[in-house]
Amino acid sequence: MENIAPALLDWFNQNRRSLPFRDDPTPYHVWVSEIMLQQTRVSAALPYYERFIEELPDIPALAACPPERLDKLWEGLGYYRRVHSLQKAAQVVCEQYGGALPADYDALLALPGVGPYTAGAIASIGFGLAAPAVDGNVLRVFARLYNDPSPVTDAAVKRTFTQRVMAHQPPDNPGDYNQALMELGALVCLPGGEPLCGRCPLADLCQGRKAGTALELPKKAEPKPRRVVPVTVLLIRQEGTGAWLLQKRPETGLLAGLWQPPALEGVCLEGPDAIRQAAAGLGLVPGSDTPRPRPAAKHIFSHVEWHLSGWVMTLPAQPAPEGCVWASREDLEGRYALPGAFKAYRKVLLG
């Protein structure tokens, strides 16, 4: 097993993908890319990354970015809490560290939205410090390498795996070692299918391959079933201007601070009268238009599943209720970031 690091680094030197954050791995670039890649594939994240860095080239620019613009830059990536925490952390870095990330694992870990994996990636790749960066790819590679059936979702098991990862980390090249492990997991030791052992630099060392158990690893604890929440979506159009009503979500919780069509969570309203009443409950003056249903839709968050039913109605021109705005087509396209949960109704709003 002592040959893991040399074999891995040789392979990485020959097979590493050229990626903008890898080719210019400043701590800020590593940070932004790792936050984006938490829930998004590399190919999908790349155009977002390029646009984000072009518009917000450094931490002070990120800290000062207007929140709506920040959401717009993130629109399509989902899990907006990531970018909100990114900005909060950037503001902390400006206040406490003069706008440059600290070269210290524990200080990085103390920043909002920065967990052990991200802190380790920034410390090792951005600063060249000895630190672990153990994500799902790395856990999978090590479960197979050691033929270890312990559930990697367990915190104690993860700690043991992290110790193993660190035992092989070369002190003079922690960043490449961590990236090589992630890259091996992404390109060769694949999830959800046969690993490409014939192309693996660790094949001769791999206990899982020898035992024929690689495909069954890693083991994970059974996930908790998702909570199903009905959501009634009010797609309310203003007579004359054609603008749509948007409502700002609370500053904490799911989709915090984002704009969306008014929605009643935990409620599946049925029939035009119930929809009219819901609109009146928002403080809107009723009109003569009969609300019409749109096809049902579903959106899956990590622990919750929304079952959405949308209703379209037109109301007479009137001021937007408190916490709401009338958004024109230009506003919807260029200003407000509509959460992916409402994707099914996007065409209605932009139609």
Does the footprint of ligand SF4 cover residue 208 (CB under 6 A)?
Answer: yes
182 touching ligand SF4, by CB under 6 A: no
Q: Active site residue: 2, 34, 68, 265, which one?
A: 34
From candidates 27, 120, 175, 195, binder to ligand SF4 by CB under 6 A: 195
Q: Which of 115, 114, 116, 164 is nearest to 139 (CA)?
A: 164
Write each residue from 129 to 168 as x if it is in contact with ligand SF4 (CB under 6 A), else as -, in one continuous string: ------------x--xx-----------------------
Residues in binding contact with ligand SF4, number by CB under 6 A: 15
For residue 8, the 8-state DSSP code is: H
Per CB under 6 A, 186 contacts ligand SF4: no
Helix ranges restricted to H, 129-199: 136-145, 155-167, 174-187
E strand or H helix that includes residue 12: helix 4-15
| Residues 291, 300: Cα–Cα separation, whole Å | 26
- Give 102 or 195: the residue with its C-beta nearer to ligand SF4: 195
34 is catalytic: yes
Q: Which is nearer to ligand SF4, 23 or 204 (CB)?
A: 204
Write down the least CB distance from residue 207 to ligand SF4, Å: 8
32 binds ligand SF4 (CB under 6 A): no
CB 108 within 8 A of CB 102: yes
209 is a site residue for ligand SF4 (CB under 6 A): yes
Under a CB-based contact definition with an 8 Å cutoff, are residues 349 and 332 in contact? yes
If binding is defined by CB under 6 A, does position 7 make contact with ligand SF4?
Answer: no
Task: Report which secondary-structure segment, H or E, holds 307.
Answer: strand 304-315
Residues 275, 311 contacting (CB under 8 angstroms): yes
By CB under 6 A, residue 308 contacts ligand SF4: no
Cα distance between the two ends of the chain: 60
* Residue choice 134, 214, 308, 320 for contact with ligand SF4 (CB under 6 A): 214
Nearer to ligand SF4 among residue 102 and residue 201 (C-beta):
201
Q: Smallest distance, Å, CB 214 to ligand SF4?
A: 4
Piece of the chain touching ligand SF4 by CB under 6 A; list 7-15, 20-28, 131-139, 197-205: 197-205
Give bridge partners of residue 260 from the DSSP assignment. Answer: 247
- Provide the H-helix boundaries in the chain: 4-15, 20-23, 27-37, 42-55, 59-64, 67-74, 81-97, 105-109, 116-121, 127, 136-145, 155-167, 174-187, 207-211, 272-281, 329-334, 346-350
- Distance (Å, whole) CA 49 – CA 53: 6
Which one among 202, 246, 278, 308 touches ligand SF4, defined by CB under 6 A? 202
Contacting positions for ligand SF4 (CB under 6 A): 141, 144-145, 188-189, 195-197, 200, 202-203, 206, 208-209, 214
Would you please indicate which residues are annotated as catalytic (active-site) residues? 34
